[in-house]
Every structure is written in structure tokens, then in C-alpha cells.
Amino acid sequence: MKYDTDKLSQISIVEWLKNNGYTKQRGSGKYVSYLSPFGTEANASMKVNTAKNTWRDYHSGKSGNIITLVMELEKCSFVEACRVLGDNRGVDIATYEPVKQESGVKIHLVEDIASQELIGYFTDKRKIDPDVLNKYCKQVSFSFPFSEKDPNAIYTAVGFPTAMKSWELRSSFMKIATPPKSFSKIKGLSNERIILWEGFINFLSFLTYHKTLVPKYTTYILNGVHQIRLVNPFLKGKIVYLYVDSDCAGDGVLAQLDNCTPIDMRYSFAFNNDYNEFLTTLS
């Protein structure tokens, strides 16, 4: 049975937790806190963002939407979690209303990467080849115009462009995206097959490891597992080499692939969560 994942992801996390016996500790606005369901603790370390309907558990480091939360709590697959939510177990009809607001990120400048701090983070810590980094990424200067603390502060990060001309931004202390959230497409030497990645740093790691600047096949980078619903039509009838993370979210991407022939390539970085972790363990 197929499920409308967009509709399921709108089920209120707060309402689902309430109806399944989880009691909030504090908060009633944008952020609500709970004791971590993944361990024993005295302080509430799981936060729910009610505006985005997402959660983050600082005790375990896990995060995601209502579907990934059910996967973690029920210890089940992506499809089974959709079935749980689709059957409305423990849920009334409560859904959240997304808060409509202007973009919280303002781009000021896009240029070649010059910051030694950014270069060092990618080449020294992430072990990305400088030529690979400079071919696919830019240095992006930006601010948070609606920040209560300092709306005029300018930050810099390495930016990876998406198909919607937005940016995935990364630095040693920041991991954000400018709207609209979108996947990226990289032209390969051949369009005969497809390579599918979860994140762009792993894509750069793959090129670094194989000492090449261009992938063999046309490549899609999801920049977030939920983008698979948008990428799926481009995969129709293709053999797809899948390089998602070795976790429940990655399993969820595999479960959603249809009308194509997926080949799970996670064995190539066995014992590591992702390709960059594999790359960094080699040195």
C-alpha cells in the first residue's frame, strides 16, 4: 500500500506524543521539551519545533519528522511507520499549520572560496580534495535578518547549489539551507545510469576517493531524505546506485524508490555511517 508521506508528515508530533503517553516537560509555543525517550535522564533534552513539526533529541543526537520519530520509537521500517501513522494509531485528526514567514537567511555575496578556515574545515577535517571543493562549491556570505540577537552579523560558509538556485550551507559550526529546500543534479559522463546521494559532502568525498572531478553517471543529491519524492520521477526505468546513510532515514529512501532498479551501495563504506566518515578513517 502506498502512503501520502506529505500528509503523514503533517500529523502533529506534539499530539502524537501526547496520545501515546509522552508528557511534555515545558513549553507551549514554538518549542516544546520532553524527557528523551531514548534513555534515562533528569533533564528534558528532546525538543519539538511546533512551527516546522520537527524534533531533535540531544541525548541521542537523533532528529527528523513525525515519520522518523515513529521509526525510532517503534523500532520499525519507514513503510511500517507510515502504516502506523496511516492507521491513525494514537492520533486524532490533529495536524500542524506551518508558519508562513519570509526567508530567515539573506545572501550577501557568492564568490570563490578564499577563507582559510573554511578551506581547512573541508580539506583537513573532512578530507575533501581542494580541486573537488572548488569545482562544486562557493563561499557564501549571509545574515539572519530576523535574528533577535544580531540581525546585521555576516557569516560565511561553503555553499553547494541546488536545482532551485538555493544553497546548502556548511561550516565547522553551521549546517543550514536557504529556501526553497531542493535537491541538486550533477551531469555525469553518462546518463545511462543514476547515482543517488543523501548529502553533498558525501558526494564530494566519493569524487575525492576516486580521484576524479566528474561522476561517471548523472548524479542526484537529495540534500534531505524528503526530496526523494521529487527525484523519483527522474529515476524511472534506470539502474540507480544508492549511497544514502546507513541509518533508518537511508532505509526510508530505499523503501520509497519505485519504477527503477536500485543497487544499495552502502556496503562500500561498511562499518561507517556515511561516505565521508569512511574517507576520514582512511587517513
- Beta strand extents in 43-111 (DSSP E only): 46-49, 54-57, 62-64, 106-111
Strand partners, 63: 56
In three-state secondary structure terms, 118 is: helix
Q: Are 180 and 102 in contact (CB under 8 A)?
A: no
How far is Cα 177 from Cα 166, in angstroms, rounded to an integer?
8
Which has the closest alpha carbon to 138: 170, 106, 175, 163?
Answer: 170
Cell digits of residue 27? 513549553
Residue 226 has pLDDT above 50, yes or no: yes
* The CATH fold of domain 184-280: Dna Topoisomerase Vi A Subunit; Chain: A, domain 2 (3.40.1360)
Cell digits of residue 233? 520521477
* The CATH fold of domain 5-86: DNA Primase; Chain A (3.90.580)
Cell digits of residue 181? 529546500
Instruction: Determine the average pLDDT of the residues in 16-36.
Output: 78
Grid cell 531514548 is found at: 38
Render pLDDT for 55-108 as a digit per residue (tens, 0 to 9). Answer: 888 777 788 889 888 888 878 888 788 877 876 544 333 444 444 445 578 999
Grid cell 548529502 is found at: 199
pTM of the model: 0.66
Q: Is the model more confident about 40 or about 166?
A: 166
Q: Residues for the chain: how many in total?
A: 283
Give me the residue spans of the domains in the chain.
5-86, 106-177, 184-280
